[in-house]
Structure 1
Amino acid sequence: MIQNFMIGTQAVQPLAMKSAAAQAGTVTGSGQSFGSYLEDALNQVAAQEQQAKDMSNKFVLGEVNIDEAMISSQQALLSLQLTTQVRNKVIEAYQEIMRTQI
């Protein structure tokens, strides 16, 4: 079973009224800003892509089996696709906000 470890369920928190500090970019409870959370997620995607590349090179050298290399490759692909879809949804939301008339 292939799992994507980019987004964990522990990061999901119920919506609540936030203080001024929380509205400035800090996630309530974790102390981590949205920017750093996004950066960590992108770094994990990049790490999975690097791991897939390393596994592919090891497969060529005969150090790992094809199934290990393919699983690593598919995990990286799924992470990249998820990241792309999240980016597309954020852009759509931004465009929708910009079309809103006040």
Structure 2
Amino acid sequence: MIQNTMLSPLNVIQPAQSSASNKPATPAESIKNFGEYLQDAIDSVSQQEQNVQKTNDKFLLGEVNVDEVMMTSEQALLSLQLTSQVRNKVIEAYQEIMRTQL
């Protein structure tokens, strides 16, 4: 079964909160948490790309089957596509905010 490591339910459901009390996080803390979340997601995609390279090298040496190569390649491809679609939506949202007249 293919697992999406980028969008874990635990990471999505937990609200950003200050460690000192039960008060909601300030906007600055929320931005920091969102930035950390994006960095973790990008690191995860990068790690999957490295796993594809390692699996390809093992395939050339005859240590793994072609189905393992295809599965790791597809997982990395899907993660990369998801990342690019999220980026596109963020850019669209930013552009929409910039077009809003106050």
- Work out whether the TM-score is over 0.5: yes
TM-superposed deviation, 1:14: 7.5
Counterpart in 2 of 1:12? 12
Once residues 83 and 26 of structure 2 are traced to their aligned partners in structure 1, the CA distance between those partners, rounded to angstroms, is 25
Mapped pair 1:33 → 2:33: yes
The alignment-based identity, stated in percent, is: 59
TM-superposed deviation, 1:4: 1.9
Counterpart in 2 of 1:81? 81
- Structure 1 length as normaliser, TM-score? 0.83
Comparing both chains, which one has the higher relative contact order based on Cα–Cα distances under 8 Å and sequence gaps of 6 or more?
A: 1
Once residues 14 and 54 of structure 2 are traced to their aligned partners in structure 1, the CA distance between those partners, rounded to angstroms, is 39
- Structure 2 length as normaliser, TM-score? 0.83
In the TM superposition, what whole-angstrom CA distance separates every residue of 1:46-69 from its partner, at most 9, and x where no partner exists? Answer: 000000111011111101011111
Which letter maps to 1:52? V
The aligned runs of 1:1-102 (5 Å cut-off) are 1-13=1-13, 19=24, 21-26=25-30, 33-102=33-102
Pair 1:51–1:60, CA change in 2 (3 A): same
Count of paired positions: 96
In the TM superposition, what whole-angstrom CA distance separates every residue of 1:33-85 from its partner, at most 9, and x where no partner exists? Answer: 21111111100100000001110111111010111111001000000000000
Could you tell me which runs of 5 or more consecutive residues in structure 1 were left unpaired when the two chains were aligned: none
After superposition, the CA RMSD in angstroms is 2.2
Contact 1:4 1:78 survives alignment (8 Å): no
Per the alignment, in what secondary structure is the counterpart of residue 75 of structure 2?
helix
More helix by share: 2
Contact 1:59 1:69 survives alignment (8 Å): yes
Could you tell me which runs of 5 or more consecutive residues in structure 2 were left unpaired when the two chains were aligned: 16-22
Once residues 44 and 13 of structure 1 are traced to their aligned partners in structure 2, the CA distance between those partners, rounded to angstroms, is 19
